[in-house]
Structure 1
Amino acid sequence: MLTVRSKKWLIAGVAAMALTTALYAPNLPSFGPQKVLAAEAGSVQNVITVTGQGEMTIAPDVAYVSLGIRTEADTAKDAQAANAAAYEKLRAVLFDTYKLAAKDVQTSGFRVQPEYTYTERDPKIKGYSATQMLQVTYRDLANLGTFLDAASAAGANQIEGVRFSTEKGQEYELQVIEKAMNNAKAKADAIAKYAGKEVKAIVAVNQGGGVAIPSQFSNIAMESKAMAMDAAGSPTSISTGELKVTTNVTVQYQF
């Protein structure tokens, strides 16, 4: 015969078993709902997957010019002082003559180092050099050669190169994506037509690698003497060339 205490334990055990069953019931095999889901999944068929390419050629609208001043003297202090004086002349051309914004002129390097003369024995210090390099953002590309000549005449005797690019990246990005999607749609239509079908809707899209906004480097390593000759005669001629913006998309269509 069950005591009152035993009855209480029995009731608690039954309640615990009922709760456990309720918690784990969703994980038990069930054939009704799963068959419905399987049927729905099986209804998605006739999918075409294509890759569309988008490409356009643009003219660069900005140049990043690496230029600087190198000075020499017997001491490091004098080399640095000479460099500072030369930079003031260049600064006047950049900001007063060409009206460049402060944000478009950035010091990219500054160094003072000994210069050596080499003999049969140990090298000897013959003096010191100071070099300050700038990166200049310049947008009037039609007059880029004239600008370089003016910078050279003002004391810039180190011009290491020009990188052409664009500041309209977002605008070109949307255009080239549209071209890629149109290319993908044309491919899907051709495949569906061959199969006797018709493209209905886009199932999924993946843009591979984003949009490549290019830059083109022109290795214009100009010596001060050569640039001085150009500055005295005809302006330096610079060819900007063209840039190619590309992207690709992978699109799935239902038909």
Structure 2
Amino acid sequence: MDEPSVTMTGSGTASVSPDVVRLDLRVGHEAAEVAAALSGAAAQVRVVGTVLREHGVAENDIRTIDTNVHQRYDNSGSPVGFTAEQRLGVTVRDLELVGTILESAASGVGNALLVDAVRLDVADRSEGLRRARDAAFAEALAKAEQYAALSGSELGRVREVVETGAMPVAMPRMAMAALDTMGGMPIEGGDLELHASVTIRWVLA
């Protein structure tokens, strides 16, 4: 017969200060032929890569997410050419440079550059997640102790610990003004929240 037990779920949150910005950039080029579309997109990507490196972005902080080519059609459904696109994932470790980088890249390739996402993040989540897990465990323990007391029992040993769900980064309040002649897009760090959730089973003594 199984031992009497109580199972509780707890969640915890830890605030951390963002120290990197993740950019999701897309560079495209239209042409009548596939080869010309691909070569044009490649040339634009090289321009953006040069801008990134000139502003101190390291090689391992620039990666290709995907590349695609699709055919374009006019309003009547007739093919009119091809568009080649490449998406880049970029990590910028100096928050103050984000606006300048985006403005310089846009100046280099014009409307060929699209910014799909600008996300604040932390390079190393381990300490923040440790604090979030501590808080999640403490919440589960407090509930388990209460239910044990209500049932006239005491908590015994832990039988099972399962971390449940993902630990996403909650987006902070982030101010992004339009690019202007005084400089690039300002990014305000604010706070990020890391979340942890755990389900724990205790034996009831």
How does the TM-score come out when normalised to structure 1? 0.60
Q: Which amino acid aligns with 2:63?
A: Q
After superposition, the Cα gap between the structure-2 partners of 1:249 and 1:116, relative to the gap in structure 1 and judged at 3 Å, is closer
The answer to whether residue 205 in structure 2 is matched with residue 252 in structure 1 is no
Counterpart of 1:160?
A: 116
In structure 1, what is the Cα distance between the partners aligned to 2:9 and 2:68? 50
The answer to whether residue 141 in structure 2 is matched with residue 185 in structure 1 is yes
In structure 2, what is the Cα distance between the partners aligned to 1:189 and 1:116? 66
In structure 1, what is the Cα distance between the partners aligned to 2:90 and 2:122? 15
Higher helix fraction (1 or 2): 1
Higher strand fraction (1 or 2): 2
Aligned length: 198
Alignment match of 1:123 (pick from 60, 78, 83): 78
In structure 1, what is the Cα distance between the partners aligned to 2:37 and 2:155? 73
8 Å Cα contact 1:201-1:254 kept in structure 2: yes
8 Å Cα contact 1:63-1:165 kept in structure 2: yes
Shift of 1:173: 3.0
Alignment match of 2:57 (pick from 86, 100, 103): 100
In structure 2, what is the Cα distance between the partners aligned to 1:205 and 1:175? 20
Computing the radius of gyration from Cα coordinates, the structure with the larger value is: 1
After superposition, the Cα gap between the structure-2 partners of 1:216 and 1:69, relative to the gap in structure 1 and judged at 3 Å, is farther
Counterpart of 1:69?
A: 27
8 Å Cα contact 1:208-1:249 kept in structure 2: yes
Shift of 1:230: 1.6
Alignment match of 2:128 (pick from 157, 172, 175): 172
- Flag structure 2 segments of 5+ consecutive residues without an equivalent: none
Q: Which amino acid aligns with 1:153?
A: S
Shift of 1:134: 1.2
8 Å Cα contact 2:51-2:101 kept in structure 1: no
How does the TM-score come out when normalised to structure 2? 0.72
3-state SS in 1 of match to 2:164? strand
8 Å Cα contact 1:113-1:130 kept in structure 2: yes
8 Å Cα contact 2:155-2:202 kept in structure 1: no
Counterpart of 2:38?
A: 80
After superposition, the Cα gap between the structure-2 partners of 1:188 and 1:78, relative to the gap in structure 1 and judged at 3 Å, is closer
Shift of 1:233: 4.0
Q: Which has the higher contact order (CA 8 A, sep 6+)?
A: 2
* CA RMSD, Structure 1 to Structure 2 (Å): 3.6
Shift of 1:74: 4.3
Counterpart of 1:235?
A: 184
Q: Which amino acid aligns with 1:204?
A: R
After superposition, the Cα gap between the structure-2 partners of 1:189 and 1:245, relative to the gap in structure 1 and judged at 3 Å, is same
Identity %: 25
The answer to whether residue 117 in structure 2 is matched with residue 144 in structure 1 is no
Shift of 1:48: 5.0
